[in-house]
Amino acid sequence: MDLTGKVSVVTGAAQGNGFGIARALAGAGSQVILADRNAPRLERAIEELRGSGGDVTPFVCDVTEEDAVKELMRSAHELGGPHVLVSQAGLDYSALIPDTSLEDWNRVMGVDVTATFLCVREAIPYMVDLGGGSIITMSGTYAWVAEPGHALHAAAKGAIMSFTRGIACEWGHKGIRANALNPGWINTPMVSDTFEIRPAEQTDEVVKWHALGRIGEIDEIGNLALFLASDASSFCTGAAFTIDGGQSAGVNSFQKPITVKHE
């Protein structure tokens, strides 16, 4: 899959899934703008990608701020894009509904949902002028498989998935495709932090939720994003691409063997 000559924007790109996606797109020849609000972490990501030959540009910004997002997309336009937008920025949050403050609700919705809306809104006119483009949003398995303590995440990821379908229906006639990545548990710094505060047996149980018997890696997310960004997915739009190692397929045999035993 070749993205030579394409300009991509990846938000939340300084670490985790965003970094894995940026690395995959840059490795395929795209010029990639990495956007993140953490300047030191972003600089480290840029140094690593440039060290492996990537054509990458840092852009420090808070994607919940309208003017910052406008400037981000103007910068992509000045480079000849954006041909690809990956709206990946998101927050980790866990609390039961009665313990969720309105401030926390607005904060998570702002980073996950509002920022996605702002990035998409500002990218669309440029993509129309370019004759099309690929928009990739970051939904998640929480969009349809909830978990106690994560109702706010479920609401945010569900909103992103529905919004993605709306983008696809509204702008497909202009050559703009929109698809959602739906990861399960991926080996990111955010997940590592979660595992560190859980008892070991809980961490082991999380791994057993997956039919493949492991959690995912950021390069696996990057590979799927590359497919969606490229012409290899030219007839894919308005879809949810689940990448969760079989977690949401159902209770698996690693978790609750009943009558059939593995050899």
pLDDT in tens, 193-231: 666 666 666 777 788 888 898 899 999 999 999 999 999
| 135-193: pLDDT as tens digits | 999 999 999 888 889 999 999 999 999 999 999 999 999 999 999 999 988 988 777 76
Average pLDDT (236-251) is 92
First-to-last CA distance in the chain?
38
CA angle 111, 113, 118 (to 5 degrees): 85
Q: Determine phi and psi for 32, rounding to 5 degrees.
A: -120, 130
Can you give the pLDDT at residue 205?
Answer: 79
Domains of the chain, earliest start first: 7-249 (3.40.50.720)
Q: Positive or negative, the Cα torsion across 207, 213, 217, 222?
A: negative
Half-sphere exposure of 147 (CA within 13 A, CB side): 15
95 sits in the region (left: phi over 0; alpha: psi -120 to 50; else beta) called beta
Q: How confident is the model at residue 17 (pLDDT cuts 50, 70, 90)?
A: very high
pTM of the model: 0.92
Q: Positive or negative, the Cα torsion across 101, 107, 110, 113?
A: negative
**For residue 18, pLDDT beyond 80:** yes
